[in-house]
Structures are given as structure tokens and as C-alpha cells.
Amino acid sequence: MFATVDIGATRRVIATAPAETAITLAIPNELSQVRERVLDAPTDGSARMLATQLLERSWLVEGDTAVVGDGVSFEQLQVQVVGLEAEGRTLYRQVLADVVVDAEPS
Amino acid sequence: MIDTWIARLREPRSGVVVITAFVALLMASHWTPMALPAAIVIGLAILRPRDAISRVVWWALAAMWFTAIALEPARMEDHVYLFAVWLVALAVSLHQDTEEAFIEQAAWQARVLIGVTFTAAVGWKLAFNDFASGTALWLFMLVDYRFNPLATAVGLSEADMARDRLALTELLAGTSGALSLEAPSWVLWRITAVAVFALVIEGVIAVSYLASDSSRLAALRLPSIVLFAVLTYSVVPVVAFAALLAALALTAARWRSESMWVFPALVLMSATRALVINL
């Protein structure tokens, strides 16, 4: 059994595109293995790899969320991996990895 | 032919090899290509049992598993590393010429592997207060539905769990600053007791397996590992790890026939729980 509150199952990957209100991207199922790897080993390198693959896709934006589809491409994405830390029985959020990746100039 | 094969299983060398080949097949659930070498070794054990106990076979299988770990580390869990080390230990033990010398060596290797593994597990948990305080266990009950029966048993209500899950989602999204896990004192007491009890059992396993065979503590080996498996795998079943632990425990017990029930008991219990969860 795991020893700490910060494990893969308690971490989250948050991918956002910059806008007036940041757009949150739904990570597609085809990238679930990459997402799992980022959760298990949350480094800037693994987060950057996921961000790069997200940047290669186009997105359908609805409000402040986006799903993969024939729509817009983003010029820049931020991927954060957040986890937990505990003090006694109080849990706090901690940022484990945080990268901003720009699209390759075409 | 079947009688001969079953009789051969009673010999430590053949028995340990066959049970380890079966564990290898279960471990292939982490990366399915590894099912092929496991199936080949099982086929050898059935059709050419003399070849199956060749140390070359086990060095080769160990090399394949270390390669698999290097190639696909994200697919591997901690017990796969333990399994790979056990394959090396088994290959080393198969260098012994006689059955007696083999089981002496293999039993020592299995005993030390279990002892060191559980010592590391206890040390790791003690190094962080999250576990002994019950906070980690509480959180697992929130994020992993397999812990639902345990959550109910310690007195956490569905309403409490739903409230805390929502608060956890908000915390991770960054819309709240902190989450205090709160419950009546008798629930807190039960959660902490379960966490501490788990630590104590793991401690007993570590100490009893690291103690010498002549120590009184050695009598606690099988009971403690069975209790650990019952408590752990009846909640979160990890069939491959249950099978590996049972194989190591049987080898450490020198492949005595009176200990054989441990393997089917542990594997069936964790497999049944896995089936119930997936239904």
C-alpha cells in the first residue's frame, strides 16, 4: 500500500490554452497512456511531451473548455501536474510540474 | 504420466520452478509480450521437465524481465522489480547440485527477499506521517472505489465521502485552498487503527522473515503473510503480487507439503475479489 498522499491516483493533469479566461482542454483518450506516464512521473519533461502532443491537435472550443475536433489550433499551451501534500489531516494542493509550450512555427 | 508430473512437483526444484513460471504468466499482465516466455517455460515444465530446471532457462527469463523493465518502465509496478530479482535468486539457486542444497539456498533467498521488501515498506511508511496518521488511507478511500467496503466498515458515510470527493476535486482544480478531512472521533480512531494495524503486520513479516530459522519469531512467518494477504488483497486485489508472495513464502518454508495451501488460497482470494470488482 502506498505511503503518502501524493500518488498517481491523487494527481491531476491540467492542460489549458491562454485566453481572456483560460480554456481547459479535455485530454483525449488516445493520449491516456501519455497522461498516465505524466501522472506517475510528473516532471517538466514528461509534461512538455504531453503538451507537445496536445499542440499537434485541433480543438473545438465551447465556452472555457475544448475537446479534440476540427476547429482551432493553439499557438501555446500550459500543462500543469498537481498533487497533494498533507499537514496532519489537512490536504493542500502542490504543483509538481508546470510547463508552457509554444507551437512550432509553420 | 500425470502421476509422475505431480510427484515431480513435490520435489523442491521442480515445484519452485513451476510455481515461478505460473507467477511469470500472471506478471505478464503488466506487458503481454512477456506471456510468451512464461508460456514456453510452462510448456517446458510439462513436456521436458528436466530442461525446465536448467539454470540457463531462468537466467534467460531474468534477462528478459530486466529488459522488459528497461523498455517499458511505465507499465511495471513495484512487485515486478521484486519478481525480476527473484528470478535471479532462483537462477543462482539452481546452480546447486542437489535438491537439499537447492532448497536451502532458495529458501534463504526467498526469506531475505521478503524480509528486506517488508522492512523497506515499513521504513517508507514510517518516514512519512501521512500513513501512520491514517490520512493516506483516508485519501485512498476517497479516490479508489475498491476501498468502498473498508470505508463503510470504518464508518465513513456515503454523504461524507461525496462531500470530501467534491472538496478534493475543487482543491486539485485550485478553486479552494485546503481540505480538512473531518469525521467523528470514533471514525478517526478506526481509520488510524486500521493504518497502524497494517504497519504492525508488515513489521511482523519483516522481523519474522529476517530472524533466523531457529528463532521463535520464525513461527510467525506464514501466519503473518497470510493475514497480510487476506487483509490487503480482500480490499485491493493484486493477483500477480499475491501469487509472487505466496511463491516466495512457500519457498522460504522449504516447499513443505503442509504449507502448500497458501498458494491457491492467496491467488484464489485475490482473483475472486478482482472478479467481484470487475463484475
Q: Which residues of B touch A (CB under 8 A)?
A: 74, 121, 124-125, 127-131, 133-140, 143-144, 168, 171-174, 177-182, 198, 232, 236
Chain B, nearest residue to A15 by Cα: B173
CB proximity A48 to B under 8 Å: no
Residues of A in contact with B185 (CB under 8 A): none
**Does A2 fall in a domain?**
no
Domain boundaries, position A20: 8-102
Q: Per DSSP, which regions of chain B are E strands? A: 178-180
Residues near B25 by Cβ (< 8 Å), separated by ≥ 6? B35, B38, B39, B42
The bridge status of strand A12-17 relative to strand B178-180 is unpaired
How many contacts (CB atoms, under 8 Å) link A and B? 77
Ordered by start, the domain boundaries in chain B are 2-278
pLDDT at A1: 57
pLDDT tens for chain B, 279 residues: list them.
677 777 778 889 999 999 999 999 999 999 999 999 999 999 998 888 888 999 999 999 999 999 999 998 878 888 999 999 999 999 999 999 899 999 999 999 999 999 999 999 999 889 888 888 889 999 999 988 888 889 999 999 888 899 999 999 999 988 888 999 988 899 999 999 999 999 999 999 999 999 999 999 999 999 999 999 988 888 888 889 999 999 999 999 999 888 888 888 888 888 888 888 887
Q: Indicate whether A36 pLDDT > 60.
A: yes
Q: What is the mean pLDDT of residues A38-65?
A: 92
Number of domains in chain A: 1
State the Cα–Cα distance between residues B252 and B114, nearest whole angstrom. 9
DSSP-derived secondary structure for B1-65 = -HHHHHHHHTSHHHHHHHHHHHHHHHHGGGSGGGHHHHHHHHHHHHH-HHHHT-HHHHHHHHHHH
- Closest partner residue to B179 among A4, A41, A91, by Cβ? A91
The bridge status of strand A23-25 relative to strand A65-68 is parallel
**Does A38 fall in a domain?**
yes
**Does A27 fall in a domain?**
yes
- Closest partner residue to A10 among B127, B143, B198, by Cβ? B143
CB atoms closer than 10 angstroms to residue B67? 12
**Does A37 fall in a domain?**
yes
Q: How far is A43 from chain B (nearest CA, A)?
A: 14
**Does A71 fall in a domain?**
yes
pLDDT at B70: 93
CB contact under 8 A, A12 and B173: yes
Q: How far is B44 from chain A (nearest CA, A)?
A: 35
Q: What is the mean pLDDT of residues A63-76?
A: 90
pTM for the whole structure? 0.85
CB proximity A41 to B under 8 Å: yes
CB contact under 8 A, A37 and B74: yes
A10, amino acid identity: T
